């Protein structure tokens, strides 16, 4: 395997360029839109970088690596039977305050 010593030089430079470009893009978009639309002040590069980091903290992963909860993917891909579908429909109608769905009739007790 070849030695990849050059990665130790290229990686920090690429990371710095990525951070610089991200901050510049956020700053220019903010300064172009926010003052005109909302009457807010313009921001500096460092404020834009802080805003970018804050959004990353609040809204999570921008990389699209999926949910961190392991069962979520299984629940999303699980095919429901007709009974499960009817039960879910009844629960959702009840949660939303609509009572029974309009297409179904109650069974006599």
The residues, ordered by sequence, that sit 6+ positions from 93 with a Cβ below 8 Å of its Cβ are: 99, 100, 101
- Is 66 a domain residue? no
Angstrom distance (rounded) from CA 68 to CA 55: 18
So what's the pLDDT on residue 19? Answer: 92
Using DSSP's 3-state secondary structure scheme, residue 67 falls into: coil
- Is 67 a domain residue? no
- Is 88 a domain residue? yes
Is-contact 83 104, C-beta < 8 A? no
Is-contact 61 67, C-beta < 8 A? no
- Is 52 a domain residue? yes
- Is 20 a domain residue? yes
- Is 89 a domain residue? yes
So what's the pLDDT on residue 89? Answer: 86
What is the domain range of residue 27? 7-61+77-95
The structural domain count of the chain equals 1
**Mean pLDDT, each 10-residue run in order, the chain (109 residues):** 80 93 94 93 94 88 57 65 87 80 57
Instruction: Name the one residue in this structure whose structure tokens are 């299984």.
Output: 74
- Is 2 a domain residue? no
- Is 104 a domain residue? no
């Amino acid at each position: 395997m070849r030695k990849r010593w050059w990665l130790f030089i290229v990686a920090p430079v690429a990371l710095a360029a990525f951070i610089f470009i991200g901050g510049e893009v956020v700053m220019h978009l903010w300064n172009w839109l926010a003052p005109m639309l909302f009457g807010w002040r313009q921001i500096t590069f460092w404020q834009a970088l802080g805003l970018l980091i804050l959004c990353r903290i609040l809204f999570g992963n921008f990389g699209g690596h999926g949910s961190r909860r392991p069962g979520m993917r299984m629940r999303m891909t699980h095919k429901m039977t007709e009974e499960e579908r009817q039960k879910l429909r009844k629960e959702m109608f009840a949660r939303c305050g609509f009572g029974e769905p309009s297409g179904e009739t109650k069974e006599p007790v």
